[in-house]
Structure 1
Amino acid sequence: MGSGLGQWLNQRCKNERLSLRQAATRTGLSHSTIRDIIKGNHPSPETIKKLVLGFTTSLSERVDLEDYLMLLAGYRTEHPQIKPSDPMLKSCISYWENT
């Protein structure tokens, strides 16, 4: 198995007892794309966003997971200046979820 992102996706599917086809249905991706990511192929940022939407339910979860997966895929570097759990950010997220 290849990348950290592939390992994350494989483990997430195992934890949720999802087949590749079920993960594909949940994310709007093809089962072959899911398989390729697990095998280590490098997905596009758009594909990562579909994974995030398929595996989260709230905006705050999406922010956390997208940041983490983009980091695993090498699209972002770690930035300690703001964390998704920061109270100010939570307040902003709450505002946008309710508008």
Structure 2
Amino acid sequence: MTASLLFFQIDGMIPGGVINPDNLLIETGIISGRKITSWPSLRTDLINAGGDWFDTQVMVDQGLVTSRKPEDISAFSEKMIEVFSQGDQQLRDTSPPL
């Protein structure tokens, strides 16, 4: 399987990652204390990095949007559009799992 990596950077923030960006997110330290979703095999790594892991298509926490797998790309894309349209408000809010 080819790992895909998708990040956006806006004003120094990384608001989105889908499929397999989790190792980079762990290394930057931004996982700690955040709700996140990922490919199921990365669950333990994310929990060990201080994240609160959920098995859901899309998770938003403080403007960071994560998703699990290629089948979730549509839901991820819709959520990213929603986050972008809300601007700074989304960076302050934490949403519950879908």
When the two structures are superposed, what TM-score results if normalisation uses the length of structure 2? 0.34
Q: Give the number of the structure whose alpha-carbon radius of gyration is greater.
A: 1
Please state which structure has a larger fraction of its residues in helix.
1
When the two structures are superposed, what TM-score results if normalisation uses the length of structure 1? 0.34
Please state which structure has a larger fraction of its residues in strand.
2
